[in-house]
Amino acid sequence: MHPIKQKAMELGVDGVAFLNLKDYSSHRSPDPKNYLNNAISLVVYILRELPGGYMNQSIIRMNSLGGTDFNDYYIGYNLARFIEDQYLEDTITIPGHRPFEINEESWKSIIGPISLRHAASQCGLGILGKNGVVVNPVWGSMIRIGAVLTTLNLESDKPNDYEPCKTCQYPCDKMCPAGAIQIVDGQTIVDQTKCTKYSQPYDVGNFTRFLIKLIGAEKQKKIEMLLTPHWFNLFMASMGYMYYSCIECTRGCPGTRLKKEYASLEPKRRAATKLSDIL
């Protein structure tokens, strides 16, 4: 095993692979060299979510998902240090979600510095599923993807020939309560606005919508709006507890370590915020 992969496994990843930038493709994403001059390769890794926490639809799930976040920070930083110390090459860790650059051109259609889902699928850690996200043979879509961008020249691992969607019976596109997923000529199209508005009920978009309504409301209505579970959940999100509260398109993906009951066709119960609160 390559020493970098060995180090990643020792740090606790659930899978690791290399992707040379000549084999990386994501038509909407910025050039990785915008973030690291002379960058040549990506070290891509996955961390499994705790299935029990992942399947929980209350804000309490953030404690489990937050643990994955901290592991991602820890692993990325220490793996990058290992590469710099052992190979004398530059590195930068890539965020799995936030932060991302926001400017006048990009803020209405935000995209991360590197498409980790494309990178992971292009180096064999899974495939891009019908749901538009990575499906791993072991952990399905219950994974977090991380990466280290480096000037070290690494040979790409081969893509995976795994094809779970051909035999999967879980109707991920039809399970989406926001109607955000469409399959057109075999290609997945995800309406990110519909998805985000529903799956991240306490994100900056919904927080802003609430404030606009609050500002325009009469005094008594303002008081009523502030004395609701939705407001307090928005407030908690502003303190760092924003979370995805919809897993309908991902929980049914097949994985050898996942229970079959995760793919039940009965939608999971949502937390305090109702769809009518945010649409």
Selection from 225, 197, 200 nearest residue 212 by Cα: 225
Give dist(CA 34, CA 15) in Å, integer.
27
Distance of CA 127 to the CA centre of its chain: 14
DSSP class of residue 165 equals: G
Helix (H) or strand (E) holding 190: strand 187-190
Indicate the domain borders of the chain. 3-164, 169-278
| pLDDT one-digit tens code per residue, 231-275 | 988 888 777 666 677 889 999 999 999 999 999 988 776 655 555
| pLDDT one-digit tens code per residue, 92-132 | 999 987 777 777 766 667 788 899 999 999 999 999 999 99
> What average pLDDT does the segment 33-55 reach?
95
pTM for this model (two decimals): 0.89
| pLDDT one-digit tens code per residue, 166-183 | 999 999 999 999 999 998
Omega into 99 within 30° of 0, i.e. cis?
yes
Q: Residue 72 contacts by C-beta under 8 Å, 6 or more apart in sequence?
A: 47, 96, 144, 146
Selection from 157, 147, 171 nearest residue 252 by Cα: 171
pLDDT of residue 261: 92
For strands 15-20 and 134-135, give the pairing: unpaired
- Residue pair 68/244 in contact by the 8 Å Cβ criterion: no
